[in-house]
Amino acid sequence: MTEFRADLLNGIALAYAGDAIYEVFVRDYLLRQGITKAGELQKNAVKFVSAKAQAWLISEMTTDDYLTEEELGYFKRGRNAHSKTTAKNTDVVTYRISTGFEAVFGFNHLTGQKARVEEMASYCIRKISEQNF
């Protein structure tokens, strides 16, 4: 198998993959917490996957100097990408920052950095769990 060329994908494509990957970690976490009712799962998932939460997480990652230089580059690629979709429940700036967040997950996943994806998901889930969103 050849190496995946994440550098050839635009930020929206990376975010598309990253959104799904991060969501799976959040869903697994919520189910492991014993939450099984659909409405409760959705209500709790929003705390982790909303644009507001993801933008806050990037801010925390920056404060903690958590992202590598390469990851920061992919964050900026996602943040600066021009999307045909618009933000539903947030402002455009927050939506773009959250797209950058998702692009980092997408980059790491698509380049086979499984341990880093798991580490990032654990970091994010821990950070959000400590907050009262």
Contact between 100 and 79 (Cβ < 8 Å) = yes
**Per-residue model confidence as pLDDT tens digits over 65-91:** 999 999 999 999 999 987 777 777 889
pLDDT at 59: 96
Q: Confidence band (pLDDT; 50, 70, 90) for 132?
A: low
Instruction: Show the tokens assigned to 81.
Output: 């990408």
**Per-residue model confidence as pLDDT tens digits over 99-108:** 999 999 999 9
Please give the residue that has the higher pLDDT: either 131 or 70: 70
User: How many whole angstroms separate alpha carbon 82 and alpha carbon 69?
Assistant: 22
Residues noted as catalytic: 19
Instruction: Give me the domains of the chain, ranges plus CATH numbers.
Output: 8-130 (1.10.1520.10)
CA–CA distances in Å: residue 57 to residues 38, 40, 103: 25, 22, 13
The number of helices, as runs of H, and strands, as runs of E, in the chain is: 6, 0
